[in-house]
Chain A
Amino acid sequence: MHAMPSEVIQLSGHIIDSLILPKVLDEIMDLNGTFEILEMTVGKRKTDPSIARLRIQAGTQRQLALILKRLSRLGALPLHLKDVHLVRAPRDGVFPANFYSTTNLSTDVRFRGKWRRVERIEMDCGIVVHPGGGRAVCTPVASVRKSDWVVCGAEGVKVTPLERARQAQVFQFMGSAVSSEKPKLQLIQRLAQEMRAVRRAGQKILVVAGPAVVHTGSGPYLERLIRGGYVHVLFAGNGLATHDIESALYGTSLGIRLDRGEPVKDGHDHHMRAINTIRSAGSIRQAVRRGILKRGIMHACITHRVPFVLCGSIRDDGPLPDVITDVVEAQSAMRQHIPDVGMALMIASTLHSIATGNMLPATVKTVCVDINPAVVTKLSDRGTFQGIGIVSDTESFLRELTRALRL
C-alpha cells in the first residue's frame, strides 16, 4: 500500500455558471487523474462566488504535474504553494492557538520551499518543525516545549490519502464494516496470511489485549502467538498482566479455575496475592528471573524479549510494579514502540485499543476483535482507515488464529 501523488486545489468564483468546475473535472478525467471533492460551497445569490476544494490524484508525479499545469490555466491552484506558518509554543505543554491538528494520514509540510515528511504521524497532535535541520515531528500536546516552532493553519500542509489497493486484500475486502455475520474462519485464514506477510516485510505486529483474554481461557493461545514470533510488542493494562500472573501462579482468573470454570475457595484474593508476589519480587522480569513466574503471557514476553507497556487506570488493584500510572508517561512509552508497526491486533480491550488506535498512522493495518459489536464499531469509527472488525468471542478467535498460523 503506497500513497498516490496527490494535491489539493482550490477553485473559486462563478465556477458553476461558467462551467469552469465541470471543465476542471473533465480535464482531470481526460488526463487519467481522479478527484475527490473535499469541500463545495455554492454561492447563494448569482453574484456570490462558489468555492470548490478538490483532491486530485494521479498515477505518477509527472501525470499530476501535467494535470496541475492544465488546471492552473483555469484558475484551479494548489493550496500548498506557501510554506507552513510557524508560531512558537507559548509554554511547555501548550500549542499556539491556531495550531494544526494532525490526522493519522501520511503528512508533509512545506518548509523553506521543500516538502518534508512529518515523522511519527498520529492523529490529534501538533507538528513541531525544527528550523535547524528542517525536521517535522508529530508531537502530542503534552510533549511540546516552550518556544518550539509549531505549525499553525493548514497552509503548507499536505495530507496524502491512502491508495485503494488494486487487488483485494483482506483489509479492503472486509472494509471497516462490522458484522457478526461475516465468515470468520475464512477471514482468520486471510488474517494469518497477512500476519505472515507483515512479519516477512520486517514490520512489527502489535497486540493490545484486555483481561478477557485471560478470563476466557485464551491466554495460552496468546502465549503461543508470542512464542511463535507473531507478537513484537504488547500493550495492556494492569488487569491482563495481573490475571495472567494469577493464572500462572494459582490456575485461576479472578478466583475461577480456568481448567474447570469453577470458583475456588478464597479464590477472590488470588489476584491480590499475585500482585503482592510481583511487587515483592520488584518487577515481572525479576519474578521470571527468580523462577517465581514460570508460565503465561507475561512470562512469554520476558523470555521472548517482547517489550510490553502496561498502563494503569483508576480502578486498578495494586498495581503491578511494571504498570505506568501516569497516563502521559504511559502514552509516551507506548509511542516509543509505534515506529515500524505494520499491524495492530486489538483483542477484547476498549480503552487501550482506542488509545493505541489514536497513535497509529493510517497505514497500519488494524484488527479489532471484541464480542461486543459496539466496541468494534467505535474503534472503526475513529478514523482507523485500514481496519477490520471481527465480532467474536476472544477464545474462539485466538484458537482459530493459532490454528491458522499452525502454532
Chain B
Amino acid sequence: MTVAPRPSSPAPAFLMCRPTYYTIAYEINPWMSVKRQAHTARANAQWTRLYQTLTRQLGARVSLLPPTPGLPDLVFTANAGLMAQRVFIRSNFRYPQRQHEEPVIERYARERGWRLIRLAARYDFEGEGDALWLGETLIVGFRFRSDAPVHEELAHILARRVLPVELADRRFYHLDTCFCPLDRRTVLWFPKAFDRYGRRVIERFADHLIDVTEADAMRFVCNAIVVGQSIVMQQGASDALRRRLAGRGFRVYAVDLSEFLKAGGSAKCLVLTLNRSRAMSEA
C-alpha cells in the first residue's frame, strides 16, 4: 500500500546528488576505509532505488545537484546545509576534503535563487546532518562535525529555539546517524550516542522516544527519511523495531544502501529536505 501525502499538502521536496563520482577516497569517520571500496555500479543501483522510492512511491519532488568529479561525498546532500524558512544556511565543513564541496553547493544555491546564508567562518556546521527539527525546536548535534557555539547563530537566523546536544560515540558522528524525528513528538534514536546531558534534553523535548538497539543503530536505521507516516530506511531493521513503528502507525520502506554505509551514510544522508513542514507529518 502506498501512503500518499495528504491532498492538501504539496509534495515533499528533497535535494539529491547522483553517486556518479562516489568512492571512498579518504577516511574521515570510523566507517570509511579506503581498503574497503564502494562498488560503483551497485551504489548507483541502490541510489536509484532510493530515488524511485521517494519519487514514485512517496510522491516526493526530488531536485538533483549535479555530481562533481573529485567530490565523492557530494552525494550526501544532507550535509550541504540547512534549508529553513526560505533561507539556505550553507555548511562549514570540518574536514578540508569536504570543504571543496562548499563552492559547488553555493553555486547551485545561487542558480536555484535560494537566499544563501554563510555562517561566521570560525565554527563548523554540517547542515542537516547535524540539525534536525523536533517540532519548532532545532536539535543540533555537536562535537565530531559541528561546533556547539554555532547554535547561537542558527537561533538568531531562524528565530527558533536551537538546542545543541553533544554526541558521544564516534561511530555516530552526525546527529542524523542516531536521531530521527518521526513527527512533532516522536523520535527514533540511539540513546547511547549522546552524552547524559544530550539524553536529558531529548528526553525532555520529545514526548515519545523509540530507542533502537545497538545492532539496529549500526545498520543506520536512524538515518531514515520520513515522509508523512512513511519511513524510508536501510533494510534489515529488527522485527521488534518494525513492530514498534507499525504500532505507532508508521510504514517502513526498506531499501538497501549498504554501499553508502561504507562511507558512514544511509538514506537520510543522501537527501536534503527542501520543504520541512511538508515532509514531516504535522500529526
A interface list, Cβ under 8 A from B: 12-14, 17-20, 22-23, 46-47, 49, 73-75, 77
Contact = CB atoms under 8 A, between A and B. Distances in A.
A19 B196 CA distance: 10
Contacts of B282: none
Chain B residues touching A, majority SS: mixed
Given A20-B148, A47-B155, A49-B152, 16 more contacts: A12-B152, A13-B149, A13-B152, A13-B155, A13-B164, A14-B162, A17-B163, A17-B205, A18-B163, A18-B164, A18-B201, A19-B197, A23-B166, A49-B156, A74-B148, A77-B149
B120 to A, nearest CB: 12
A14 B143 CA distance: 17
A20 B166 CA distance: 9
B111 to A, nearest CB: 32
Interface of B: 143, 147-149, 151-152, 155-156, 159-166, 197-198, 200-201, 205
A46 B205 CA distance: 13
Nearest to A45: B161
The 3 closest A-B pairs by CB, nearest first: A75-B149, A13-B152, A18-B163
Given A47-B155, A74-B148, A75-B149, A14 B161 contact: yes
Given A17-B201, A19-B200, A19-B201, A75 B160 contact: no
Contacts, number: 54
A50 to B, nearest CB: 10
B162 A22 contact: no
Nearest to B162: A14
Nearest to A74: B148
A42 to B, nearest CB: 13
18 contacts: A13-B151, A13-B155, A13-B164, A14-B155, A14-B161, A14-B163, A17-B205, A18-B164, A18-B165, A19-B197, A20-B197, A46-B161, A49-B156, A73-B148, A75-B147, A75-B148, A75-B149, A75-B152
Contacts of B156: 49
A12 B159 CA distance: 15
B197 A22 contact: yes
A20 B164 contact: yes
Contacts of B151: 13-14, 18, 75
Contacts of A74: 148, 166
Contacts of A14: 151-152, 155, 161-164
A75 B122 CA distance: 12
A14 B155 CA distance: 8
